[in-house]
A and B are shown apart, each in its own frame.
Chain A
Amino acid sequence: MRDVTQDPARDEGQDGRTQPPPLAEYRARARAWIAENLERASGSRVEYRVGEPADLAAERRLQRRLYAAGYAGISWPREYGGQGLPAEYERAFRLEARGYRLPDFGVVGGTTYGVCALTMLAHASPEFRRRHIPRILAGDELWVEFFSEPAAGSDLAGVRTTATRDPSGTWILNGSKIWSSGAYYADWGMCLARTNWDVPKHRGLTWFAVPATAPGVTIRRIRQITGDAEFCEEFFDNVELSDDDVIGEVDNGWTVTQTMLLFERGGGAAHDSSRRVAPRGIAPDLVELARSVGRLNDPLARDLIVRAHVDDLARRALLARLGQRMTRDPGTAASLASYGKLSSGVYDPIRARLAMEIGGPDAVAWERDDADPAATAQAKAAEAFLGSRFMSIAGGTNEMQRNTIGERVLGLPREPSFDRDKPFREVLQDARAWTGRGGSSR
């Protein structure tokens, strides 16, 4: 690990304790360093066909350069390789770095720095953090979540991947995971496994760190409805792990999960209560589509475009309102986030259908010409249609959001459940035998 006392961004105070430098001074130094060491970003942001950077090694080198200079993990604890500075220093650096190229690890960058590392900082042992967090900050470890399973999506606590501790103290992991974004180019996965089948489902879960290259781990890309292959599935066949790989406490993984879900849904981020509905053109993509099929002056097509535009405005107004409500009452943020998620899950498909109606047959088949803007607009509408149910399912289905809103915001009672206060082993047995007739028809 590098010597943090050589840190250019910090000064030693007289009492030996470190004092943050004045913000303006820090900012000036950052500006100079950025101008010296970073490249200007090209005009348009790189658009990945899937979540993978074109040159992963180059992104890692860039991350390492930031880390070496003390500009990675600016607000993260010093003992784990961060700089331990207040959040405004991090913001100041971000502002100075605008317009410059920063490391972009695609979809895995979000899970590594926005979810997994933050969860580790909250729950992993100090030894674990010392082992992994500096390597994450240096760009040497990219992390994904091994979370959902083929038989456990919305019912996340119902995972069946199992870790068993053998007499020598080694954990043996068996099972499979699915929907991990970008796992095929990640180094590690945070894996939720059942470690006790004889307690209710939320109580027998444990998080493990699993190296993507460990013997017995198979990672396969899944070809998706759009033709892309960003998501992966994993198979674990007697993968050996140690106590050192446990994140949080054994059998107490659900506590860790709740933290993780909060980060995943952006509930841990600051709420922007100043957001306003600023002027923006009328649904530019749909206007382009209508133009491409010669319907720009068709009143029927125009009405469809405006329908989408009005919904767009209402969705932006909703986010502004939610931000204000979250700021006013931060305790409600996690529940209120369900409105934003549900609005995407409900309105994305509606918008995609409006586009298909505007495009007509030309949004179903188009000229084979990538250089033709009309064909591009039409192909985009078709792809949006196929992808439009993403937000209604991924990261908590519409139904889960409706339950959250119904129960936590509106105060409606829960459905009776079949799996509370019952060992998970029995839950599965009883469910298979359930016929729905009578009270207990076995």
Chain B
Amino acid sequence: MSVDLVVSATPEQELLVETSARFIASTLPLSQVRALAEAGRAPDAGYYETAASLGWFGMLADERHGGGSASGNGVLDAAAVAAERGAGLQPGPFVGTNVAVAALAGAQPRHAELVGRLVRGQARATWVAGAVAGLTPDTGRVVASADGDGYVLRGSVRHVADADECDHLLVTADGVDGPVQLVVDANAPGVGRRRLEGMDITRRGFAVSFDDVRVGADALVGEPGAGAREAVERELAIAAVLTVAESVGAMHHDFTTAVEHARTRIAFGRPIGSFQAVKHLLADTSLSLEMAKGLVVAAAEALGEGAANAIELAHAAKSFVAERGIELTHACFQVLGGIGYTWEHDHHLFMRRLGADAVAFGSAQWHRARLGEGIGVG
């Protein structure tokens, strides 16, 4: 069942959403997600190749790179897919690969070959952002020093999703003249990927270290300094919007489960959803969910169109969904009662996901602080 994120979807978008939802249900339904999570494993390569054939990794690249959007707004398309992924708690570097594709496709032509492989699902990437721009402070940073006409990378960053599944890392490092972005072979000598234990067992987090990793000048993505700063802002907005799109999908599923429970669970001689105490909690939660979906769509539309308020809406969406997502999963938990406290019921998987999503790519407070910088300016 679709999350119905984009109400005014084009027929092409509807087809994309429908085929994506069907692919998820038949290839990696919740029972399989749970099995992978409990075994600590990632999906196999076939999953990514099929997903790529549906267009999952090409929406932020143009036709030249083998990509293309369904509706003309690639970010909105990607958000619609992300919502279906979130409803099914799909693992893997969907956000990371799309951020890398967007960054590389807009950079030097020499990256076209890699973009093509990412779009086709033959390679995967994730973003090693760390504490860049103040995002998630104290997660570590990477320093890029000049080395001949290339760079040498040192440092380590925690909370990088899906690193061991990825062939390539988009590294945002501190350079001599401000930030510098480099694409690094994940298997290069000196690159370490240490698995972290995590609350969200459907995602796999890593600490990635760079121990004198040498890269050539051809690893450079865009221009260092001001150019990179601008690129990072856009990458962050894409990462934030796709993450909250996955979040609202997860919220949708958790909420639907709670409503169904309220309709069928009998207590005191009637379905518990008939009691206003339960009904009103669900109505308020439903309002939050509708607002969250609306804001995610507004942000995705604006970002895809390059609208003037795109970055503002991305910050707003991330901060709103982070808080409402956690409230929602708590409300659903309350409606489910004791069953929600069990490992057997799927609710905890959604609670884990929404708790983790809330702080991925910047917490609610961090995004509000970025918005606050605009007060009294202009």
The interface of chain A, by Cβ under 8 A from chain B, is: 273, 276-279, 282, 287, 290-291, 296-297, 299, 302-303, 305-307, 309-311, 313-322, 324-325, 328, 339, 342-343, 346, 399, 401-403, 405-407, 409-416
Contact = CB atoms under 8 A, between A and B. Distances in A.
Nearest to A286: B375
B31 interface: no
B371 A342 contact: no
Most interface-central of B263, B284, B291, B369 (chain A CB within 10 A) = B291
Given A277-B313, A318-B294, A346-B284, A406 B273 contact: yes
A345 to B, nearest CB: 10
Given A399-B276, A406-B283, A412-B282, A296 B259 contact: no
Contacts of A414: 274
Contacts of A297: 376
Contacts of A416: 270, 274
Contact of A343 (B287, B313, B319, B376): B287
B372 A402 contact: no
Given A276-B298, A314-B291, A346-B284, A415 B372 contact: no
Given A406-B282, A412-B259, A339 B270 contact: no
B302 interface: yes
B8 A324 contact: yes
Given A287-B375, A320-B294, A412-B262, A403 B316 contact: no
B297 interface: yes
B320 interface: yes
A interface majority secondary structure? helix
Contact of A402 (B7, B283, B307, B374): B283
B79 to A, nearest CB: 13
B4 to A, nearest CB: 9
A127 B287 CA distance: 45
B interface majority secondary structure? helix
B375 A321 contact: no
A315 B273 contact: no
A17 to B, nearest CB: 40
B280 interface: yes
27 contacts: A277-B302, A279-B308, A287-B375, A291-B376, A306-B368, A310-B320, A314-B291, A318-B294, A319-B294, A320-B298, A321-B293, A324-B7, A324-B8, A328-B7, A342-B283, A342-B284, A401-B283, A402-B279, A402-B284, A406-B273, A406-B283, A410-B273, A410-B279, A410-B282, A413-B273, A413-B274, A415-B274
Contact of A317 (B279, B295, B308, B312): B295
Contacts of A287: 375-376
B276 A415 contact: yes
A310 B368 contact: yes
A314 B284 CA distance: 14
Contact of A342 (B276, B282, B287): B287
Interface string B1-33: 000000110000000000000000000000000
Size band of the B side of the interface? 35 or more
Given A303-B372, A315-B291, A402-B284, 12 more contacts: A306-B375, A321-B290, A342-B283, A402-B280, A405-B283, A406-B273, A410-B283, A411-B263, A412-B263, A412-B271, A413-B271, A413-B273
B102 interface: no
Identify the 3 closest CB pairs spanning chains A and B, nearest first: A317-B294, A412-B273, A321-B294
Contacts of B294: 314, 317-321
Contacts of A303: 365, 368-369, 372
B283 A314 contact: no
A403 B278 CA distance: 11
Contact of A318 (B284, B291, B302): B291
Contact of B275 (A318, A399, A402, A415): A415
A303 B369 CA distance: 7
Nearest to A320: B294
Contacts of B372: 299, 302-303, 305-306
Nearest to B319: A310
Nearest to A404: B283
Contacts of A277: 295, 298, 302, 309, 313
